[in-house]
Chain A
Amino acid sequence: MKITGKVWKFGDNINTDLILPMKIYFLTPQEQTRYVFEANRPGWADEVEAGDIIIGGRNFGMGSSRPAARSLKNLGIGCLLADSINGLFYRNCVNWGFPALEIPGVDAAFDEGDTAEISFDDFGVRNVTTGAHLDGIAMPDQLLKIFKAGGIYPLLEAQGLIAPPA
């Protein structure tokens, strides 16, 4: 599986309240996407295009367990790359079937607007604009399986453990 897209950069310690603020907690998942990064980058959710890629620095997604990864997925983001990803946020990427990879050094290797090409076969990323290549941290098979099923809900639904969406 390969993903190619235009890069947007966000830096270190991006938190979940910035991605999914409390004031829109009750909106539908699709409506919630309009508010992604509203506090730190107003208007961005309208500018970003389907397939674009987010690059963070260290500790991306720190904060709450809220389904912020679902908002990035529903906004059409192609992939999240970061030097390191908060453990809870990483789980939620897997849970919601949203592509995310930890790639030490990725923040420094890209400028905003560069094009990134990511492979989920060898977990590497290429900066198409500069030609640089970096190795990411592999996603274990067990998690890859959940991720490829589209996340936990489709998996549990197929096993008859939870009901389909009401």
Chain B
Amino acid sequence: MGMTIIEKILARASGAAKVSPGDLVSVRVDTVVMFDNNFLPNIWREILKLDDPKKLVVVFDHRVPASDIPSAISHQNGRRFVEKFSIERFHDVGPKQGICHVLVADHAYALPGTVLVCSDSHTCSAGAFNCAARGVGAPDIMYAATKGETWYRVGETVRYQLEGALSPAVSMKDVFLHIAETYGEHTNTNVEYGGPALSNLSINARRTLATMSAELSAEFATFEADEVLLDYVRARNPAPFEAQAPDADAKYADVRTIKLDEMEPLVALPDTVLNNSRPVAEVAGERIDQAFIGSCANGTLDDLTVAAKVVAGRRVSPKVRLIVTPGSQTIYREAVSKGIIATLIEAGAVITNPTCGACSGGHLGVLGPNETCITASTRNFKGRMGDPSARIFMASPATVAASALKGAIADPSEFLR
């Protein structure tokens, strides 16, 4: 029996000819990404020895520029660490700022066929790069940084075969909501994405689906590599790599076909995305106080572009705060030069600097009691973005932008023909 993509990457990294579901494997780690939360005083322990400083990437993203004193201290701890070990790949507040998973994409730090660890749960984002990447705990990062290895339990894999192409008002966020609605949680199971539709999907679109896979409670989420991906990586990172394709006789727990043409705009109701989405028409008219477009899943140039298209020449409802957070300074600069930021501002959006911000309820756009928000970020858990009584609906950037215009949840189709 052959292996799935993730089994092949883990086999290679553990030096085994084959790994199978049920195995516990120790693997060599190629890239370790650390971010500001790792350096918070209530979790940070000073590292005395590193396995290899060249493997490290250090990013400040959750609360930047520092929103409070503990965050400022975490940044100080991080800067001292970077200096002590002369770490080159460092993204401080400034021109290289951004959300860690977005920077991993911008700079192709995640190489196909390799292993990347980061203690943020949306690390599966780098699965779009055919990379074995998943969230681990903060102590795992200490282990990987000092010993150069980590462990994984190998789970079974569900394969999603993507076919066809999306219509203009539908995005990969809707595809994710469809998967979460139809199939629910994937605890202890990997997901693998591939199929003929890949060639129709930008790297950004793939990243949205890979990133959101954390919300399926999946283990690893891994995409097949195609020429588009390989060209993207080679243009940004000169390091050698070997992409992994699934064996023809790979064993899957299930193979599910997703026809992109049949997808429609969906909205997840508050508190969870698992088995909890409705077609936008069924929730349309629900009044909102805040609309948010951003995060590691939906702060890409594609996302800002579609939001600008929806609001161009129109006005955000005076009762709604539309907050837009680009995923990185690189994306922000591109959006400025393309006129996207100007369009959004003219319509009444507030543009914030790249940061996690409102996504994690840490700063910038925290919700008050009983408020209603529609978000194109990653999570709608109770209390995630502020007060636990606030209701958080989740949808695509297009649906969020359309809702901001109407002051209530709205179908984006009329703006995107």
Contact = CB atoms under 8 A, between A and B. Distances in A.
A136 interface: no
Interface string B13-51: 000000000001010000000000100111101111100
A91 B137 contact: yes
B188 A84 contact: yes
A118 B138 CA distance: 28
B360 interface: yes
A124 interface: no
B388 interface: yes
A38 B49 CA distance: 39
Contacts of B140: 91, 95, 152
B96 interface: no
B360 A161 contact: no
Interface in A69-92: 69, 84-88, 90-92
B411 to A, nearest CB: 28
Contact size range, B: 35 or more
Nearest to B23: A140
B65 interface: no
Given A63-B121, A91-B136, A162 B146 contact: yes
Interface in B151-191: 151, 153, 155, 185, 187-188
B156 to A, nearest CB: 12
B381 interface: yes
A165 to B, nearest CB: 7
A130 interface: no
A26 B70 contact: yes
Given A13-B272, A17-B381, A59-B187, A156 B146 contact: yes
Contacts of B187: 58-59, 62, 84-87
B387 to A, nearest CB: 9
Given A59-B185, A162-B146, A65 B137 contact: yes
Contacts of A131: none
A32 B40 CA distance: 14
A96 interface: yes
Given A17-B383, A39-B388, A95 B121 contact: no
B104 interface: no
Contacts of A15: 272, 381
A111 B42 CA distance: 36
B7 to A, nearest CB: 16
A96 B119 CA distance: 14
A143 B139 contact: no
Nearest to B382: A39
B24 A87 contact: no
Nearest to B384: A17
A143 B24 contact: yes
Interface in B187-205: 187-188
B384 A142 contact: no
A163 interface: yes
A66 B37 CA distance: 9
Given A28-B42, A95-B138, 4 more contacts: A15-B272, A22-B361, A39-B383, A88-B134
23 contacts: A13-B272, A17-B382, A22-B361, A22-B384, A26-B42, A27-B42, A38-B388, A39-B382, A40-B382, A59-B274, A62-B187, A62-B217, A64-B121, A65-B136, A67-B43, A87-B188, A95-B139, A143-B151, A152-B137, A152-B143, A153-B142, A161-B47, A165-B45
Interface of B: 24, 26, 37, 40-43, 45-49, 68, 70, 119-121, 134-140, 142-143, 146-147, 151, 153, 155, 185, 187-188, 215, 217, 219, 272, 274, 360-362, 379, 381-384, 388
Q: List the 7 shortest-distance A-B pairs measured between CB atoms, nearest first.
A: A152-B139, A163-B46, A161-B146, A95-B139, A26-B70, A39-B388, A92-B137
